[in-house]
Amino acid sequence: MNNTLKVSDAELYYEVRGSGPLVVLVGAPMDADAFAPLADLLAADRTVLTTDPRGVKRSTLEAGGTSRPEQRADDLARLIRHVDAGPAVVLGSSGGAVSALALAQDHPELVRTVIAHEPPLDRLLPDADELLAKSEKLMADYLAGDVTGAWKQFFAVANIQLPDEVVEMMFGADRDPEQLATERFWFGHEMRESISWLPDFDRLRAADVVVGIGEESTGQLCDRTSTALAAGLGVEPTRFPGDHTGFVERPEAFAKALRDLLEAVRRSR
């Protein structure tokens, strides 16, 4: 089922599959389509909710609207109440993991377990000021029109090794206007708000939070931030197949790992 939900300053696009206990899959800036293969697999025995975050693709945002983690968490809370199938297991990836953590802080009654997969929480690191300054520069360069230059800086900050010619091929040619709009929204309205967000460890320790890291992400920035988050929560990170976007490239393996994790959580209760 595809539908929309109106909130105060946005209209949220969402999809619901399957039946059973509720699982929410969310990204930022990744939209619902990125999670579709994983959602199809999980829908065999679960209700699966996916959504485009505010301002991205089919979720519209009023002029002057913003996309802070607390707002995205409130959006998720409204969607969970709207579909009336919670409380939910929430898997958030990248900026969506920041949204999911904010949801666990602000709306704990709606969440069974939050799986924060590679949240880019730069402020948890000792070199946070340097990282945030580099990100401010690349965001400004992107918005000024230096698209490939900004992406090269982005991958350097993320410690993801891509040759310049690959970055130029990926981001320098004619591209889908919808993808470009999502990308520009990320650099202009989502990235700063996500990477500078600081979790409240006391509130999160009261929730059931799992920190996920891709098996192939070792040494990358989100490996570092996720490891710091896990240390702050006093938990061991859980390794998932693939890298930062393992749920896209390897949905079957990711779904199995997620099912195994949820079963282990169920047995521990």
- Residue 265 pLDDT level (bands cut at 50, 70, 90): confident
- Rounded Cα gap, residues 68 and 190, in angstroms: 7
Q: Is 132 left (phi over 0), alpha (psi -120 to 50) or beta?
A: alpha
Report helix, strand or coil for 89. strand
Looking at the fold, whether 33 and 114 belong to one and the same domain comes out as yes
Looking at the fold, whether 143 and 183 belong to one and the same domain comes out as yes
Looking at the fold, whether 70 and 39 belong to one and the same domain comes out as yes
* pLDDT number for residue 267: 79
Domain boundary among 172, 192, 212: 192
Write the CATH number for 14: 3.40.50.1820
* pLDDT number for residue 243: 96
* pLDDT number for residue 86: 80
Report helix, strand or coil for 53. coil
CB contact burial 140-173 (16+ within 10 A = b; e otherwise): ebbeeeebbbbbbbbbebbeeeeeeeebeeebee
pLDDT one-digit tens code per residue, 20-32? 999 999 999 999 9
pLDDT one-digit tens code per residue, 98-137? 999 999 999 999 999 999 999 999 999 999 999 999 999 9
Domain boundary among 146, 164, 192: 192
DSSP-derived pairing of the beta strands 47-51 and 2-6: unpaired
Domain boundary among 166, 192, 218: 192
Span 161-179, average pLDDT: 90
Looking at the fold, whether 222 and 245 belong to one and the same domain comes out as yes
* pLDDT number for residue 268: 75
The answer to which of 36-40, 64-68, 104-108, 212-216 has the lowest mean pLDDT is 64-68
- Which tokens belong to 249? 């490239």
By C-alpha distance, which of 107, 116, 241, 24 is closest to 124? Answer: 116
Looking at the fold, whether 184 and 168 belong to one and the same domain comes out as yes
8 A C-beta contact, residue 117 and residue 140: no
* pLDDT number for residue 65: 86
pLDDT one-digit tens code per residue, 235-262? 999 999 999 999 999 999 999 999 999 9
- Rounded Cα gap, residues 257 and 100, in angstroms: 19
By C-alpha distance, which of 24, 13, 38 is closest to 97? Answer: 24
Looking at the fold, whether 89 and 135 belong to one and the same domain comes out as no
Looking at the fold, whether 85 and 17 belong to one and the same domain comes out as yes
- Rounded Cα gap, residues 243 and 159, in angstroms: 13
Looking at the fold, whether 39 and 115 belong to one and the same domain comes out as yes
Residues 6+ apart with CB under 8 A from 28: 53, 56, 67, 72, 94, 95, 96, 98, 99, 186, 190, 194
Residue 10 has pLDDT above 80, yes or no: yes
* pLDDT number for residue 174: 83
Looking at the fold, whether 10 and 76 belong to one and the same domain comes out as yes
Residues 6+ apart with CB under 8 A from 86: 22, 80, 110, 111
Residue 41 has pLDDT above 80, yes or no: yes
Query: Domain span at residue 150?
Result: 128-192
Looking at the fold, whether 77 and 143 belong to one and the same domain comes out as no
Looking at the fold, whether 155 and 235 belong to one and the same domain comes out as no
pLDDT one-digit tens code per residue, 131-155? 999 999 999 999 999 999 999 999 9
Dihedral, CA atoms, 8, 11, 141, 218, nearest 10 degrees? Answer: 100
- Rounded Cα gap, residues 66 and 100, in angstroms: 17
Q: How many domains does the chain have?
A: 2
Looking at the fold, whether 105 and 205 belong to one and the same domain comes out as yes
* pLDDT number for residue 2: 72
* pLDDT number for residue 266: 79
Residue labelled with tokens 């999502």: 182
Please tell me the pTM assigned to this model. Answer: 0.96
Q: Dump the DSSP string for 141-163.
A: HHHTT-HHHHHHHHHHHHT----
